[in-house]
A and B are shown apart, each in its own frame.
Chain A
């Protein structure tokens, strides 16, 4: 679908023919491809502008377009603006600004002198330093609680990097002004630090919550009582309720990833796992005599193929 020709020319739908002509002239002067060699976007723009003018510049076609009888497409494309393809070939020399002679080398020497002068000037202008990227391995618990890590740069400088709690692998911290030095008085670039958060043998992380598989003895599970639980903040005494079965989840509120700014701290979830431990004669003797009060089949309803 071609664009609305009124929009292409930047005129109102009720614009006078003079206004359309003036708008077209202005755009044609600006975008004519022969006046803009080396700018392919000018050519595309010029084509659109010409097509719009062919449609709106003709009162008859414009009226038909306004009545919806013809659309903006399907208009005959005027062939124009291909002088430059000829002029850039060797035969174009016939219209050289100095007829009959090759352009003198010194003209081009001057031209290149100008170009080099401009480049030299650009190089002496203040320039911001480059951003440098570094990789930093953050231990799991540092990412949980937040920490300050020291990063030694290739040039021997040491950067102290504040790690906010809750960072994840793939996140990047930006330290303003710690990158490459600026040139000619320009500001230094930034240091970009890609974080790589390590794993932990006990804790698993999901978002801002932590998960811990907690082994308990049969006695602790059945009778309940206090157990010592390792948490990122140090061992914590937790009282198990009586009859805590395997798979039961206990939530320790606020013991996950530390709070940061407006974000509240995450939780630590304990998943109980019962460990029987080494063989015990008394337990064996008890179980062989034991008649459960409420017999229970833990595999009831279990089917491999539902």
Chain B
């Protein structure tokens, strides 16, 4: 669990406005503790993934929700298969 400041410090190429935008769009969904936002390891990795999609793979703002939605569906399936006891590679 880390705070917004720590998260911004962790990724040098992360700008606060971008993160706020992603939170507003629901791409990143931190929890609220009092006045503060807290980010779990899952959120941190997701921010890392979004940064890589944007900076390394040139996924633009219009394409980002599409990619994230497909990925979320993919991981829904994989979680579900795991729950059903199907062994997945890697």
Contact, CB under 8 Å: A38 / B29: no
Chain B, Cβ-Cβ closest to A24: B56
Number of interface residues of A (CB under 8 A): 37
Which residues of A are found within 8 Å of B76, using beta-carbon distances? Answer: 93, 96-98, 103
Size category, B interface: 20 to 34
Contact of B52 among A28, A39, A40, A89 (CB under 8 A): A28
In the assembled complex, the CB of A19 is this many whole angstroms from the nearest CB of chain B, namely 14
Given the known interface contacts A32-B52, A86-B41, A92-B79, the answer about A39 and B72 at a Cβ–Cβ threshold of 8 Å is no
A62-97 vs B, CB cutoff 8 Å, 1 = contact: the mask equals: 000000000000000001111111111111111111
Tell me the bound Cα distance from A129 to B79 in angstroms. Answer: 38
Which residues of A are found within 8 Å of B80, using beta-carbon distances? Answer: 103, 108
Contact of A38 among B40, B52, B89 (CB under 8 A): B89
Q: Does A34 contact B (CB under 8 A)?
A: yes
Contact, CB under 8 Å: A88 / B45: no
Contact of B71 among A29, A35, A93, A103 (CB under 8 A): A35
Which residues of B are found within 8 Å of A220, using beta-carbon distances? Answer: none
Contact of A43 among B41, B42, B69, B90 (CB under 8 A): B90
In the assembled complex, the CB of A193 is this many whole angstroms from the nearest CB of chain B, namely 39
Contact of A95 among B56, B75, B82 (CB under 8 A): B75
Q: Which 6 A-B pairs have the closest CB atoms?
A: A83-B49, A83-B45, A87-B75, A86-B42, A97-B72, A97-B73
Contact, CB under 8 Å: A40 / B90: yes
